[in-house]
Structures are given as C-alpha cells and as structure tokens.
Amino acid sequence: STYTVGYFVGSLSQKSINRVLANALIRVAPPELAFREIPIKDLPLYNHDFDADYPPEGRALKDAIAAVDAVLFVTPEYNRDIPGSLKNAIDWASRPWGTNSFTHKPSAVIGTSPGKIGTAVAQQNLRSILSFCNSPQMNAPEAYIQFAPGLFNDDGEVTDPTTQQFLTDYMSDFRDFVQRVLSVLPPR
C-alpha cells in the first residue's frame, strides 16, 4: 500500500536547515510514501478561549492531520526544546478537548542542528508530548543529524554516503512502522 505522510518543519526560518533535511528525506523515501507539508507559520498563538469556536487556521490544521496516514516532525532544537512555533501547532491540533488530532496517528521525529547532539534533547521532549497526545511513535531508529555545511547540496541530495544510507533506512523503517500501526489501529 501507499501512505500519505504529513510533515511538520519546526522552524519558520527561510534558511532552515531542518527544511533542507525534510527535502532530503523526501528524496530518499521509499515509493510507498507520499508527502505533503502541514504548514504551521500562520497559526495564531493558541489559548483555550478558541475552543468554543475554532478559527479557520485551527480547523485547517486539524483537517490536514486528519487527511494523512502519519506525521513526521523535522525539528530544530531551541534552548534544548522544540521551538515555540511547533509546540503552538501541537497545542492547536490537540484541541478542542476530545478531538485531539494525534490520537492513534503514527508519528516519527527527526531533526538537525550544528551541535554535536543534533537536537537530541528537543526530540526527547517532543516524544514526551507525543506520548501524552496518544500518538504511536517510531521508537527506533532515532536520528540525531549533526548539520555541517555541504552535508546536503543545493538539490537537497545528501553528499555523505553514510548519512545517505542512514536516512534511507530511517525512511524505509518509518514506512514499515506506519504499515504495522495502521494494521492494528484503524484511523479514527
């Protein structure tokens, strides 16, 4: 079967290295996975007053998640956590109460930074959030990508063969994971 993956880029930067990584992941992904970005940049800051009458931005986000088989988070680390922009999007998607968009939605997390631990702490925190949101997560492999200039070329190709293979395996493992989850947890 084929699966549609909605991906979140946690950075709003025009020059985001995580967007570069997302594009590289799409290039090495197996043919059974189709991708569409779930945009987060135009969301207002969430508060629960919105729950009484969800605005179009919030509804569009929830519709976008409902329309995909799985979600992939490609995120930077800001001060050892995910950026507020991504947390805001997750908060929007988790509400109104009783309509959490992540329930039973398979997910995976990955990210890159120039630092040696490559977003590891942010990813760990994101895993905790996704657990609370009842999203079945791909536990392994983990992927902490240390960014270096030239690791990806302008076409979004990975220049280092070891990283290329690692990312290729990561995406085929994600396909297998999505397949396994959807075989036991029917979409809601």
In the complex, which residues of this chain contact ligand FNR (CB under 6 A)?
11, 13, 16-18, 76-80, 113-115, 119
Alpha-carbon distance 141 to 40, whole Å? 26
Q: Closer CB to ligand FNR, residue 113 or residue 163?
A: 113
Q: Tokens 């970005």: give the residue.
A: 37
Considering the complex, what minimum distance in angstroms separates the CB of residue 148 from ligand FNR? 12
8-state DSSP, 18: H
Give 31 or 116: the residue with its C-beta nearer to ligand FNR. 116
Which residue lies nearer to ligand FNR by CB, 93 or 122?
A: 122
The least CB distance from residue 184 to ligand FNR, in Å, is 34
In the complex with ligand FNR, the residue whose CB is nearer, 110 or 138, is 110
CB 74 within 8 A of CB 9: yes
Distance CA 123, CA 111 (A): 7
**β strands within 10-50, DSSP E:** 33-37
Q: Shortest gap between Cβ of 96 and ligand FNR (angstroms)?
A: 30
Q: How far is the CB of 118 from ligand FNR (least distance, A)?
A: 7
Sort residue 145 into left (φ over 0), alpha (ψ -120 to 50) or beta. Answer: beta
The encoded tokens of residue 167 equal 């990312």
